[in-house]
Amino acid sequence: MYFNDDDIKYLKSIFSGNKKILLITHDFPDGDAVGSIIACENILKNLSKDLRVYSFVNTDIPESYEFLLEDFNCFPKKEISSANFDICVVLDCGNIDRIGNAKEIEGLKIINIDHHGDNTMFGEKNYVFSSASSTCEILFYLAEALLSLPLNKKISRALYTGIVTDTGGFKFSCTSAMTHYAASMLYESKNANLQQVIEKIYFNEPFNKMKLLGEILSGMKLDSGICYSYISKEIWEKTKTNPKMVEGLVNFMASISDAKVAVLFQELPDKVKVSLRSRGDINCREIAHKFNGGGHIQAAGVKFPLPLEDAIEKLINYIKEKIL
């Protein structure tokens, strides 16, 4: 278990009374980040009707997860300050700088709940468990301790989304017996219809996203076990897509048998965003750390303040020379 009796006693004490709580997750949220913030908001609201809980996400939520957003209201960024809240819970974020507005919450009591192995332990309390498949898995066990099981529909669907996506549909090596237990218990939730979650995530893609995937696959190169491709400004325009549609596409490249590591470059207005995936012995987190990025051993990310061609050359050469 991730939480001992003293942890639960402490969390019950701070999540009580008429407190204002801010929930934040990292920029460019994935399924675990979106699931975490929605689940945590509803866990706290079900724990105490006196709590005032507000959620903030700094960048757009991918379209794949919009089905979770019923009754979800993002708190206005301009109103975020330490003076307006009692507690800040940061979810699924290994480094405080990844939330986009770290300065505004300086001085707040920060509760850090995460599963990244390179978490910088920036909270007053840090509940960081790198053995967990996902932050949503950790939150399941927290909810199990704080609330009665089975959990309600909103919490169950959000937690299941994070677990499914961060395990790659239970394919990644981060999947454990505790992961499967959490998933099985979520299936007991009344009216949750978790099969529909799978359909929404994996069988509900817009046509343009598949056109974008086609461009990525047609532009792939395989060099010394590195499978890489890119999305240029021209490809965004040609396919009429946007960064919200990229979620999960790098996994298609990682599934190639000869690929030791998959790398997808996205050209954005002020930077190049890179997603890394690997199998076997290649450590994506080690690669990302070299360029001030972060993440997990088999899934990580980097941002380059460089032109697209320069970012590709710099990263691919580094992987070839230093990693392979």
Over the stretch 123-156, which tens digit does the pLDDT of each residue have? 999 999 999 999 999 999 999 999 989 999 999 9
Span 292-302, average pLDDT: 92
pTM of the model: 0.91
The torsion region of residue 107 among left (phi > 0), alpha (psi -120 to 50) and beta comes to: left
Q: How far is CA 157 from CA 30, 126, 145, 249, 255, in A?
A: 15, 25, 18, 22, 27
Does 207-323 carry CATH code 3.40.190.290?
no
* Residues 237-294: tens digit of each pLDDT: 999 999 999 999 999 999 999 999 999 999 999 999 999 999 888 999 999 999 999 9
Q: What is the reported pLDDT for 185? A: 96
Residues 147 and 181: beta-carbon distance below 8 Å: no
Q: What percent of the chain has pLDDT over 70?
A: 100
| CA 167 centroid distance within chain | 11
Which superfamily is assigned to 5-201 in CATH? inorganic pyrophosphatase (n-terminal core) (3.90.1640.10)
Q: At 107, is the pLDDT very low, low, confident or very high (cuts 50, 70, 90)?
A: confident
| Location of each CATH 3.10.310.30 domain in the chain | 207-323
| Location of each CATH 3.90.1640.10 domain in the chain | 5-201
| CA 118 centroid distance within chain | 14
Higher pLDDT, 189 or 7: 7
